[in-house]
Structure 1
Amino acid sequence: MANAATFFVDRHLGEGRAEKLAFREVGTGRSLTYGALADASGRAAAALLAQGISREDRLAMLVLDQIEFPILFWGAMKAGVIPVPINTLLASPIYDAILQDCRATALVVSSELFEVVAPALAQNPYLKAIIVVGDARPGCLSFEAFMSKGDTALPACEASDDETAFWLYSSGSTGAPKGVHHVHSALRATADTYGARVLGVRSDDVVFSAAKFFFAYGLGNSMTFPMSVGATVVIYNGRPTPDGIVDILRHEQPTIFCGVPTLYAAMLAHVEDTAPPDVPLRVCISAGEALPEDVGTRWQRMIGVPILDGVGSTEMLHIFLSNAPGDLEYGTSGVPVPGYDVRLVDEAGAEVGVDEVGELLVNGASAAGGYWNQRAKTRDTFEGVWTRTGDKYERRADGRYIYCGRTDDMFKVSGIWVSPFEVEQAISSHAGVLECAVIAQRDGDGLEKPKAFVVPRGTPTDGLEDALREHVKDRIGKWKYPRWFEFVETLPKTATGKIQRFKLREGGA
């Protein structure tokens, strides 16, 4: 029986790391040792049970990157409760949909995020408790009051390797959120493969991930990998601006930095106007979207440390195809991570040859168990031991893999999936819009961002473009807004009325 919290948290006490620093927050002075985390997570487990939250209930976590996050995440696992970290950048209707879908019986929310989630709470029939980290809210339990219910720390409950441990939410091709459920052994699987055999994380490392706890890439960077060896993690609850991240690197002196291509490009632009930070970095990693070759080469030349670009997914929990130290070629996604098998197939499921494009399928022990209450989508994605990624790749004769795009119209912005359909729906809900279509367009750094083709109602006003940007941010998320708008009279469509996005990508509106 193997509860993941035993390996990642409590094991460190028996191995003499109780006083080792596990987490420290940027700018607050707050920190957490492995011993303090073991005690606090055990008390959180007791508090959940005292609150009437039972084993296999879901605990929704709308929590910023702060020390309460690991306390609650591992505490829930110790109690057999299933933590469900939620994207902290979404809009109220999306939070409502997720909370209704997962049927969480308790929600923990950082006070800074309370107002945006509040409209989803009043009519929710499942929530037994709302716990606020930070400033108190009427009718809610403060984090301190919640923790006081767990006066005795509980040990981790027994759990099977194959028992569901936690969920993450991933957007689908329609933009609807999908609950992805992972088992206890999946965390250890990513630590033993990518963490140990590619990243090479060590106990003396200081890790800083600009990618947040709430999605798979950040969760591995800031918890799974460092906690597998007893390393120290720097956490930051703010927005990762290029100047802010450079300052954190200077002051916190990490040895491992985890970013996404958009941020690396922005940081390069920033340090070109100032000076490169003097940091003891030994490795940087990137995922979430393909790293442009120019960004990688410029970063290595300016900072003196390579970026190991790789590809992962929420369904596989972390990176399964990657460049590695001593085996790096910018412009490629590298080779399969030891412990994973990949294959490329055509639309009929037959394997394609060298230098031919096919959909990437992956086999590894970290694969999710499926999607919550979405049987058809589960069957489409998880085929026996193989998981369909939805990515198009080609394999060179030397075994390296080259990213070619998506099998559908999805694309990533700052490492997070964006559905054109979801953005179109948000834009079309504005009174000044008749219809629209959204595609991915590359910016000056070669990174994909949304571009919208809009058929306005009447003549577009001077302020319509800015109004639409804010409208999208308010409805579906702060990173999904189109960076470019083009107002057109009509959109290219098929005879049945479907928008032909490929014509827009080719430049014909």
Structure 2
Amino acid sequence: MELRGIGSSYNAATRFIDDNVSNGLGDKAAVYYNDQSITYSQLQEFVNRAGNGLKELSVEMENRVLLICHDTPEMIAAFYGAVKIGAVPIPVNTIMAPADYEYFLNNSRAKAVVVHEDIWHKIRHLRDRFIYLRHVIVIHDSAIKEAGVIDYHEWIQAASPQLEVALTDPGDSAFWLYSSGSTGKPKGVIHLQHDMEWAYNAYAKQILQIRGDDITFSASKLFFAYGLGNGMYFPLGAGASTVLLRERPKPETVLETIEKYKPTIFFGVPTLYGSMIDLVERSGKTYDLSSLRLCVSAGEALPAQFIRKWRLLFGVDILDGIGSTEALHIFISNRVGDIREGSTGKLVPGYEAKIVNEMGEALPPNETGDLLIKGDSIASAYWNLHEENKNKFYGEWFQTGDKYYMDEEGYFWYCGRSDDMIKVGGIWVSPIEVENALIRHDAVLEVAVVGAKLDSNLVQPKAYVVLKEGVAPSDSLMNDMKDFLKKELAPYKYPRIIEFIDELPKTASGKIQRFKLRIS
């Protein structure tokens, strides 16, 4: 796949920021945020000032800069400002516990941190424990300033709006992301200068067919690999516009944001789509989503029920796909005019995949195995995790940790994470298959299925169910669900135990943490 602008010298900030101004888009809106629009020329200036500000603090090439930022223009400016000088920005989750930020700062050995004020107030008492940190740059929302930290807005205003780009090449480290921690402690994932360009050309350009007149809106935040593409380098790569939402993406807030800014492409996760569908069906309130030409889902398998209901309510399709932090964005996806409900779709151009058994041997169609993926947006390595690198990176191939099978037509079908699969009587059961059956019950809002040992010490599927608002748990409802599933599934697959709970444990990206349910 040919990559625009990729040569022996390449810097992603030049490609995604400067080139838009050079190509005559300086006066076009790049970002919509808080009733404001920020043009490409203004964004370029913010990026240049942030980069110069970091240089004034002696942040050098390959130094890490942690970004604990909400989805705001300051986040984009700090990210590309660091990239432009050859430093390495690391966006991280904004709703973690203080100990997590201590881990991120010390594990990454970040020299500087750019952080929103509300988050800094939660972690500043730990400052003496940040071993490598030298500079704290706070994006203040109030007029109250704090001694010993740098005020972001004063800092960039004092910096020059002109910035010379660092002499980086496509294989240089550009940024890190931390894995979501759906199966344990987050891992630092190292991405290179050309990775965003590859993901843009492969997925945004060929699958979404993104255009300069598009406006994107991502409920998934910029600190996720999924959100970083959706809300930042996809629209910037196309010379399009992005809508940023600082607040948490609650169903009503997301629907109102779509009505207000009229994006053409919306990105969400299955749990959010389910909650928005439930809100509209329950309240009877109507929302105008007619601006949308396309919706996208990733993070978890999207139930076919959600695709059908969303299309019925809003007249627009959802493209389900799978990506990962390590691959940067989606590498298998459904397509416009080619949606196989319940399937993850087909390979995205620019990627290769194979499904293998425990011996690493490729499996024929319709046999379930481990999914390996290959493509140039895949991370170079995990930071400082030698054994994990050996277990996950096989030369050009990456072990995703997902169980899949591919049918004769080339559609991929998700069966679950490798460690989520349930062996019942010597036969593997996919929790996704059971969950997709149970989600069709009228009372179910969300469900997660795990393996549980019964009194006989045999493992059987167990379902944790979140009921729709207004539905009360009862033994009769539980029995009704079991009867419903017996009609949908083979006898050994249906859950013998159903437990009603108020909320499923999830990562901030919406992925269900089934390992926590197995422990409970």
**Which bin holds the TM-score, normalised by the shorter protein?**
0.7 to 0.9
Distance 1:339 1:63, change over 3 A: same
Does the Cα contact within 8 Å between 1:82 and 1:167 map onto a contact in 2?
Answer: yes
The answer as to 2:330 corresponding to 1:324 is no
Alignment partner of 2:74 out of 68, 71, 92: 68
Alignment partner of 1:251 out of 238, 260, 268: 260
The CA distance in 2 between the partners of 1:346 and 1:322, in whole Å, is 23
Question: What's 1:107 paired with?
Answer: 113
Does the Cα contact within 8 Å between 1:54 and 1:81 map onto a contact in 2?
Answer: yes
The CA distance in 1 between the partners of 2:513 and 2:377, in whole Å, is 34
The CA distance in 1 between the partners of 2:346 and 2:138, in whole Å, is 43
The answer as to 2:320 corresponding to 1:309 is yes
Alignment partner of 1:296 out of 307, 317, 323: 307
The CA distance in 2 between the partners of 1:347 and 1:481, in whole Å, is 25
Question: What's 2:218 paired with?
Answer: 209
Question: What's 1:333 paired with?
Answer: 344
Q: Following superposition of structure 1 onto structure 2, how do residues 134-145 of structure 1 map, counting pairs within 5 Å? A: 134=140, 135=142, 136-145=145-154
The CA distance in 1 between the partners of 2:103 and 2:240, in whole Å, is 36
Provide TM-score, normalisation by structure 1. Answer: 0.81
Question: What's 1:225 paired with?
Answer: 234
Alignment partner of 1:277 out of 280, 288, 298: 288
- CA deviation after TM superposition for structure 1 residue 379, in Å: 1.4
The CA distance in 2 between the partners of 1:348 and 1:482, in whole Å, is 28
Residue 289 of structure 1: SS of its match in structure 2?
Answer: coil
The answer as to 2:297 corresponding to 1:286 is yes
Provide TM-score, normalisation by structure 2. Answer: 0.80
Residue 320 of structure 2: SS of its match in structure 1?
Answer: strand
Residue 21 of structure 2: SS of its match in structure 1?
Answer: helix
Alignment partner of 1:402 out of 395, 413, 422: 413
Question: What's 1:489 paired with?
Answer: none
Alignment partner of 1:83 out of 89, 93, 96: 89
Q: Which runs of 5+ in 2 are unaligned?
A: 1-8, 422-430, 433-448, 450-461, 469-499
The answer as to 2:50 corresponding to 1:40 is no
The CA distance in 2 between the partners of 1:158 and 1:21, in whole Å, is 29
The answer as to 2:249 corresponding to 1:240 is yes
Does the Cα contact within 8 Å between 2:300 and 2:511 map onto a contact in 1?
Answer: no
Question: What's 2:59 paired with?
Answer: 53
Structure 1 residues 58-104: Cα deviation after superposition (integer angstroms, max 9, x where no partner)? 00000000010111100001111100001111111111111110010
Does the Cα contact within 8 Å between 1:31 and 1:67 map onto a contact in 2?
Answer: no
Residue 226 of structure 2: SS of its match in structure 1?
Answer: helix
Structure 1 residues 417-436: Cα deviation after superposition (integer angstroms, max 9, x where no partner)? xxx9xxxxxxxxxxxxxxxx
Residue 179 of structure 2: SS of its match in structure 1?
Answer: strand
- CA deviation after TM superposition for structure 1 residue 118, in Å: 2.2
The CA distance in 2 between the partners of 1:440 and 1:377, in whole Å, is 31
Backbone CA RMSD of aligned residues: 3.0
Code of the residue aligned with 2:189 in structure 1: it is: V
Residue 285 of structure 1: SS of its match in structure 2?
Answer: strand
The answer as to 2:363 corresponding to 1:352 is yes
The answer as to 2:339 corresponding to 1:361 is no
Does the Cα contact within 8 Å between 1:65 and 1:236 map onto a contact in 2?
Answer: yes
The CA distance in 2 between the partners of 1:316 and 1:358, in whole Å, is 19
The CA distance in 2 between the partners of 1:29 and 1:254, in whole Å, is 14
Does the Cα contact within 8 Å between 1:42 and 1:156 map onto a contact in 2?
Answer: no
Q: Following superposition of structure 1 onto structure 2, how do residues 23-34 of structure 1 map, counting pairs within 5 Å? A: 23-25=31-33, 28-34=34-40
- Number of matched pairs: 442
Does the Cα contact within 8 Å between 2:173 and 2:192 map onto a contact in 1?
Answer: yes
- CA deviation after TM superposition for structure 1 residue 174, in Å: 5.6
Does the Cα contact within 8 Å between 1:191 and 1:224 map onto a contact in 2?
Answer: yes
Structure 1 residues 136-184: Cα deviation after superposition (integer angstroms, max 9, x where no partner)? 3332111022213422420321211000000000145762121000001
Does the Cα contact within 8 Å between 2:324 and 2:330 map onto a contact in 1?
Answer: yes
Alignment partner of 1:166 out of 151, 171, 175: 175
The CA distance in 2 between the partners of 1:97 and 1:39, in whole Å, is 32
Alignment partner of 2:18 out of 10, 27, 45: 10
Distance 1:198 1:478, change over 3 A: closer
